[in-house]
Structure 1
């Protein structure tokens, strides 16, 4: 039966939607119970219940103040947030009568769910259906970042007027030298094969000979098992051009400086090829210069830009393997060599072996810090919680050892990152703050401040958080965190830009779409909110579950369109 008098009609909660803020949920319940002559409540009682499918809290009875026409009540609550509360509802229960009642006479739901938007901040936690976040910072030698590119030229000579390659001693040696260079620098950046022609009549009157020579050398490279991707190789030719002659003249030793200046005056006067040719032939001794230099212009010039593969060379690798296989106290490699080997090792297990050996050979922060990062990343990969905690503990011990050797921002960052994953956000924040003080390195600060900004969001310092993200990011999670900071600061314009950047950085990263859906919902743009939400929930099961209970979407949750997008998502997932 529905009671004739609604004793809870004035019962309400402030704020109207419960919100997570700085690790707690705070709200105030107020209301009145009417006193009517015919239906005056007998022994009225108000109790507040917070309940979900997993847990519940039944609060103590609220004190009532009797007035002429009503009982009034008002009480503030502050709860330490727990994850089960996100999908809970807050209910007022009204009891009356002389006997103790187990069921309320009336009840009213004041709020459904808790807005936990700050907890969306990405801080390195692993979710089952999402890519594993990379955590921890290795201390780098910088060898991987240095430009090790080297440029070298090789010359293949031809007979006058010919495009057929003859394997003379000089050409054979050029190919052998090229192979040696590519063995030592096997990461090719570019290769230019340039066919050139001398100004001799026998070389023809068009550029066809030059390009034919380039094609012949390309075939020669293939026959010599020098295979370069087409995208890295460029074939071209030069004709009616004194450029190569000018280069050879620079190394020509049979001319005085004064005579060379005569040649350069012509070659650099800016006139056309024929005019320069006539002027050159007027210089005394030109015929001898031409006889000496023109044969070298009947050629193909191979210009190669390449760099060695990162890591140790063959001899160093042999010393490394020997040291790893023996119980030796020295290896013939220095700290930098070992650090480079660790950086370039492909697997975490290989890195662990190298860094572990380094802790025996060197008193340095590098191996302890880097081995700790390996442990942290291995912890990210395991689903066994006990194994994860064990790896975190091992990483913590290694970082403690590193801190005893020296104060280092990377060590502090990694200590803070572990604390974040353990839920010790306040202790973590102190570590990350100390790390930022120790260095001005932009790459380090970009990474450290992004994590610090995520913690600012969780701590409720939204305006401060926006300042942390003043770097050029490329990862969708960083753009999302930046958008989250602006959204919670009520700066929807900048939030929208950042969420869109998150989407552009990774379209399969659904959080950017979720952020845009939150902005649309907060702005009353229902159609846009549904459109963005549809994209978001198809990207992640975690987003799917959150959207079902997030009070931000309460106003559109009752619509057919809302449940339609969830229905289609379930169908796709089942397939």
Structure 2
């Protein structure tokens, strides 16, 4: 008995001595970073920085107590790392405690970085005894916003605004939609006053903007029993509307026509519900909770009928779904006649010669020329002939768009500098909102967001032109998202849009502000406006992920990554999909 007790005492003494003497050479079987916590649980980009708090405690337990403990925090990427310093340890009864708030300037490499706690102890502290990953990656959802940057494997976005001539409509495409309504269960266009008024409005639109670039006719049917049990009625309505337009002497080229139908789809109902004023916000949320739950159409229909007030809503809104929707993208005719074109060519080929063309004629010629090289020649000549902000601004826009088309960063920077010199000259002639907008556009492409915002804010107060304000406010709203002013951003996007990029930015503003119902509508509108534009699908995937609809998220994410290499790479590291990344199904969609 005495020998056993003596041996156990000697053994315990030797172990204690070795632990004390060897420091980090023998690591106690204890997890000293087990209680290390980070808030928020995922790192988030906000206003060009990443903010988080780390706290924890290290237990002091007899022989397993750490010797000379030290905790460091490190952010580690594939090629770069930042040591955020050592945490101060406070010794208390039975433990060390630590805690600190961090704010670090965001850099692009941090998006896929890992935040780690490193624990050291003992005499040899050349390498950590223990590591703990606190967070993977940085959520950079606001940086998805489209502000005109060129991305690989994506169409080159248009940047810059030409000053319009005044004698010719603006260099902007116009969009409008028109709805023709049908009796229940019918696909015959009835000559009602309402349909007559719609037809007149459509004709007036085409008269003003005869250069049609696209026309889409979508047949819609309501969920009523009288509307039938298949999609044939919707397509019949679309085709009947096309015949009605042709008989009304509206010429439609087949190459510009897209004809389709929607059935067993709550998209149009959600659009109507958004503007329906007879429901409280709380009651609308009940409807949206069903419409966005990812269930099949019939299940959602059954659940909607259980909501108090559904009968009144269906009575008011379902008749508006017995329709065909005509969407038109068009712009005014442009250009000079043959005699004016000859005068223009003579002036371009002669030094200081104008040949009698007015400033408006020159501006129309520049505006209607499809090639940037021709625009450059015309606007450059105009700077010799006329003292006006228009040629300097419009020549600057040509330089901006040339910069978009080069892959050489040095050449791109030189073109931006040249554009800025031209814009400065334009401002010396006239304090013009278009010039300020273009300066702001260049600044945001250079990453100088605050300076850009100031320029755009100054531009917005100089004109009441609705087309300009819509585009200027859209860019301001996009910058609001980057700056973290999400609620303000939603107010910037209260305009009618037609491009998938604008719809996506609008949806992103709602998503970041927590208004998921309106975000869903805008993302779906982005998908409808351009199915090859993957960002709308990515937005829908984000919505599904935050609401726990994993299967729906994967469906939308697959569509997004198939359409964009940028989104493919982002999805692989986006912390918004961290939970999905734990499943085999997530990696299946990347094959």
Q: Please, what TM-score do these two structures have when normalized by structure 2?
A: 0.68
Aligned to 1:287: none
- The DSSP-based 3-state class of the residue aligned with 1:141 is coil
- The DSSP-based 3-state class of the residue aligned with 1:75 is strand
Cα gap change, 1:557 to 1:3, in 2 (>3 Å) = farther
1:138 is aligned to 2:162: yes
Aligned to 1:128: 152
Cα gap change, 1:545 to 1:323, in 2 (>3 Å) = same
1:64 is aligned to 2:84: no
- How big is each residue's C-alpha offset from its partner over 1:438-479, in whole Å with a ceiling of 9 and x where there is no partner? 111111111110000000000000000000000000010111
By how many angstroms is 1:145 displaced? 3.1
Aligned to 1:445: 469
Q: How far apart in 2 are the matches of 1:45 and 1:366?
A: 65
- How big is each residue's C-alpha offset from its partner over 1:197-256, in whole Å with a ceiling of 9 and x where there is no partner? xxxxxxxxxxxxxxxxxxxxxxxxxxxxxxxx9968xxxxxxxxxxxxxxxxxxxxxxxx
Preserved CA contact (<8 Å) 1:476 1:501: yes
Aligned to 1:10: 35
Q: How far apart in 1 are the matches of 2:527 and 2:403?
A: 28
- How big is each residue's C-alpha offset from its partner over 1:379-409, in whole Å with a ceiling of 9 and x where there is no partner? 0000001110011011000000000001111
**Pairwise mapping of residues 156-171 of structure 1 onto structure 2 (< 5 A)?**
none
Preserved CA contact (<8 Å) 1:329 1:360: no
- The DSSP-based 3-state class of the residue aligned with 1:566 is coil
**Pairwise mapping of residues 231-242 of structure 1 onto structure 2 (< 5 A)?**
none
- The DSSP-based 3-state class of the residue aligned with 1:60 is strand
- The DSSP-based 3-state class of the residue aligned with 2:55 is strand
Aligned to 1:336: 360
1:373 is aligned to 2:397: yes
Cα gap change, 1:309 to 1:121, in 2 (>3 Å) = closer
Q: How far apart in 1 are the matches of 2:352 and 2:374?
A: 18
1:454 is aligned to 2:478: yes
Aligned to 2:239: none
Q: How far apart in 1 are the matches of 2:536 and 2:556?
A: 9
By how many angstroms is 1:141 displaced? 1.5
Q: How far apart in 1 are the matches of 2:582 and 2:101?
A: 30
Q: How far apart in 2 are the matches of 1:540 and 1:560?
A: 22
- The DSSP-based 3-state class of the residue aligned with 1:532 is helix
Aligned to 1:553: 577
- The DSSP-based 3-state class of the residue aligned with 1:563 is helix
- In structure 1, runs of 5+ residues without a counterpart are 147-186, 190-228, 233-306, 568-575
Cα gap change, 1:30 to 1:455, in 2 (>3 Å) = same
- The DSSP-based 3-state class of the residue aligned with 2:117 is strand
Larger Rg: 1
Aligned to 2:451: 427
**Pairwise mapping of residues 12-31 of structure 1 onto structure 2 (< 5 A)?**
12-31=37-56
Cα gap change, 1:435 to 1:309, in 2 (>3 Å) = closer
Preserved CA contact (<8 Å) 1:15 1:28: yes
- How big is each residue's C-alpha offset from its partner over 1:406-446, in whole Å with a ceiling of 9 and x where there is no partner? 11110000000000111111000000011111111111111
Aligned to 1:514: 538
1:523 is aligned to 2:577: no
1:53 is aligned to 2:78: yes
1:117 is aligned to 2:117: no
Aligned to 2:419: 395
- The DSSP-based 3-state class of the residue aligned with 2:63 is coil
Cα gap change, 1:92 to 1:453, in 2 (>3 Å) = same
- In structure 2, runs of 5+ residues without a counterpart are 1-25, 171-209, 213-249, 254-330
Preserved CA contact (<8 Å) 2:74 2:85: no
- How big is each residue's C-alpha offset from its partner over 1:323-351, in whole Å with a ceiling of 9 and x where there is no partner? 11111243311100100110111200000
Aligned equivalent of 2:526, options 502, 525, 528: 502
- The DSSP-based 3-state class of the residue aligned with 1:72 is strand
Preserved CA contact (<8 Å) 2:50 2:105: yes
Aligned to 1:416: 440
Q: What's the Cα RMSD here?
A: 2.0
**Pairwise mapping of residues 15-414 of structure 1 onto structure 2 (< 5 A)?**
15-99=40-124, 101-145=125-169, 310-414=334-438
Aligned to 2:503: 479
Preserved CA contact (<8 Å) 1:320 1:331: yes
Cα gap change, 1:544 to 1:2, in 2 (>3 Å) = farther
Preserved CA contact (<8 Å) 2:500 2:526: yes
Cα gap change, 1:375 to 1:559, in 2 (>3 Å) = same
Q: How many residues align?
A: 414
Q: How far apart in 2 are the matches of 1:319 and 1:82?
A: 54
Cα gap change, 1:51 to 1:352, in 2 (>3 Å) = same
- How big is each residue's C-alpha offset from its partner over 1:526-555, in whole Å with a ceiling of 9 and x where there is no partner? 111111101110010000000011000001
Aligned to 1:563: 587
Preserved CA contact (<8 Å) 2:42 2:139: yes
Q: How far apart in 2 are the matches of 1:108 and 1:188?
A: 62
